[in-house]
Amino acid sequence: MRASLLLESDPSAAARGASDILASAPGHVAASLLLATARRRLGEPAAAASVLESLASSQSESTVIQFELGRAYAAAGRTSEAAAAFRRAVTLDAGLAEAWRELAAQLHAAGELLEGDRAYARFQALSPDPPELKDAMTALGDNRTQAAATLLRQHLQRRPRDVVALRLLADALRKLEDDVEAERHLTQCLEIAPGFAPARYELARLLHDYERIDEMLPHIERLLACEPDNVDCLNLKAQGLRLIGRSREALALMEQLLADHPDEEQSWVLCGSLLRVAGESERSIAMFRRALAVRPGSGLAYSSLANFKTFRFEAADLEAMRQQLASPAVRGADRVRLEFALGKALEDVGAFASSFEHYACANRLQRATFFYDPKIITADVQRLRAFFTKSFFAERSGWGTQRSDPIFIVGLPRSGSTLLEQMLASHSLVEGTRELLHLPTVAFDLISGVPDRNESTYLERVKALRPEEVESLAMQYLARTQSSRIAGRPHFIDKLLGNWVYVGFIHLLFPHATIIDTRRHPLGCGFSCYRQQFGRGQKFTYDLAEFGRFYRDYAAAMEHFDATLPGRVHRVYYERLIADPRAEVQRLLEHCGLPFEEQCLRFHENRRAVTTISSEQVRRPIYRESLDQWRHYEPWLGPLKEVLGDLVARYPTPQSQPS
């Protein structure tokens, strides 16, 4: 016992003690095991293995001896023998968690990935959550994200290879919107423990969110190889397939999943969403109804129906939603979704005061779930305006690529951008894609690895770029978009609206590409955003005053580029597009350098997949019904009006000349 106690602090002393025992009691099993373990810790795996092999021949049923023999072989680099010893250990005692982990490591080292992943899954199943991480896990569950991140970083200073802590820190970083660091920690997790499925799944989710589907799918396929019936992985795979244009395959996958798992609420909703994107409205609605049959209080299903802009709730739906909201047990995301959905249902029947109450409640609840400081956006815009000057562009005249493939549509959500995209995508020379994340990724790559990543750092990197680097960045962007250009047309649309903050960067990289700013009346745009729960991002939309400030910052940035690069950005006012689509489309195509084509006005006949919440609206001819819907809510839009100030009065009417 005294010799064993020295094993951690002084393995040399432990080895001497074990040797002394064996001198007086040759063949003593415990002393022999202690000597072998000490030898391994002293970096003498061959000597350790020799002792353990002798022990194993006489103690063939000893789990501990097989386990230690496996460790000795592993330390000596004898991978196949180590794996065999660990297999014998778990055969003798299937509940020995550490043996499963060691077996997984040897299998992964030998390239047996599937068996390694399965072994690690057994280790996880036998391993409880580490008690030392309890406080951090509680903080994460209570949305005290910054506190959780601090606790986890302190823990990782002591145990830098704790993969559970690394994954939890990645979760916290995702909530804090530091996805670059989150990806780094998840990647580190998988380097340490390739079979750690939770980290692999979270990395796949992150890659999906950034539309890096070619990178995501191998992770999902590996997870499914180990657990082919995993519903979460199948759902994520279907979403990824849809993003790269394999919608039929995604739908077939979901239909099979639902045949096997008819009680999966989220899968019914996802299947309905795939059908909505494909334009199969009736089948889509039926899927959302099936989700409600599985779980009558499904906020996800109700919000999906509400996002169907051409759908109208029945009286029974209103009563069911009211009953759900009356229950204190309905909390979190479900309550937020139900409040938004009930607001939409009441709006449709003209109960505007009650409707606004539910919209306001939904927005308050949603706004309380995240950090957002509008002053950061204001400061960023001020820096952009000071940086991208006439002299900056004059000094870089002739830089960038000659390619004019991209047509960038920028602006704010709910500004008519999907209609504009559908019109352009109906042209024979233009391909519609989706809201591509590639440009921000290229921009962010400029500051990857920089500890203090902020707007100033990004601008410093842009300023330091050389001509050949600028062209290289443009080519990187085009290479990233290639998987989305299925039809291979000369031009494609990138409709990531938030790219308005990158207008200067776009012009630097693509001086010949088209940039279109879609604009809608600020009160109409503001209320339309306020009544909508977005899938992710758009944090400025959940408070009327904050939306007003964001709109002012956006308008100030665009006015700056109008002055700095006159005529560079083509502006389309939604109200004018509705009032005289032919004239506006002719102006737009002329700016793009494209011939007029009549089918651009028959955009509703285009059966391309549309992924935004306006998908049903752009499959109908132009209509005016929702144009002034915000006026029903004008009595409650005071906070928005106050912040917008003169922008409301300055907004042009459909009949006025373009500004």
pLDDT, residue 618, reads 47
Longest CA pairwise span in the chain (Å) = 106
325 or 36: which leads in pLDDT: 325
pLDDT digits (tens, 9 = 90+) for 1-46: 776 776 777 888 888 888 888 898 888 888 888 888 888 888 999 9
pLDDT, residue 176, reads 85
Secondary element (H or E) of residue 519: strand 514-519
Bridge partners, 407 (sequence order):
493, 514
- The SS3 assignment for 569 reads strand
**Which sign, positive or negative, has the C-alpha torsion 263, 266, 267, 273?**
positive
**How many CA atoms does the CB half-sphere of 127 hold within 13 Å?**
16
In terms of Cβ atoms closer than 10 Å to its own Cβ (0-12, 13-18, 19+), residue 444 is middle
CATH class in words for 2-126: mainly alpha
- DSSP conformational letter for 598: G
Stretch 555-584: mean pLDDT, rounded? 96
For residue 498, pLDDT beyond 90: yes
- List the structure tokens of 558: 């665009």
Residue 457: pLDDT band with limits 50, 70, 90: confident
Cβ atoms within 10 Å of 657's Cβ, excluding its own:
6
Residue 609: pLDDT band with limits 50, 70, 90: low
pLDDT, residue 510, reads 98
CA–CA distance, 238 with 218 (Å, rounded to integer)? 13
pLDDT, residue 656, reads 55
For residue 620, pLDDT beyond 70: no
Determine the straight-line distance between the first and last CA of the chain, rounded to whole angstroms: 88
pLDDT, residue 15, reads 82
Stretch 402-425: mean pLDDT, rounded? 95
Whether 558 contacts 569, CB under 8 Å: yes
Residues in the chain: 659
Give the sheet arrangement for strand 569-573, strand by strand. Answer: 430-434, 491-494, 406-411, 514-519, 569-573
For residue 551, pLDDT beyond 80: yes
**Which sign, positive or negative, has the C-alpha torsion 362, 368, 371, 375?**
positive
CATH class in words for 374-434+501-650: alpha beta
For residue 659, pLDDT beyond 50: no
Residue 487: pLDDT band with limits 50, 70, 90: confident
**Summary count for the chain: helices (H), strands (E):** 35, 5
Of the ranges 90-104, 138-152, 436-450, which is most confident? 90-104
Residue 452: pLDDT band with limits 50, 70, 90: low
- Our measurement of the distance from residue 341's CA atom to the centroid of its chain's CA atoms, rounded to an integer in Å, reads 24
Place of tokens 């600020």: 522
Whether 127 contacts 98, CB under 8 Å: no
> Which residue in 281, 241, 249 sits closest to 607, CA to CA?
281
> Which residue in 509, 502, 492, 539 sits closest to 384, CA to CA?
502
**Which sign, positive or negative, has the C-alpha torsion 493, 494, 499, 503?**
negative
Domains of the chain by residue range: 2-126, 374-434+501-650
Whether 75 contacts 111, CB under 8 Å: no
pLDDT digits (tens, 9 = 90+) for 361-377: 999 999 988 888 999 99
Stretch 547-552: mean pLDDT, rounded? 98
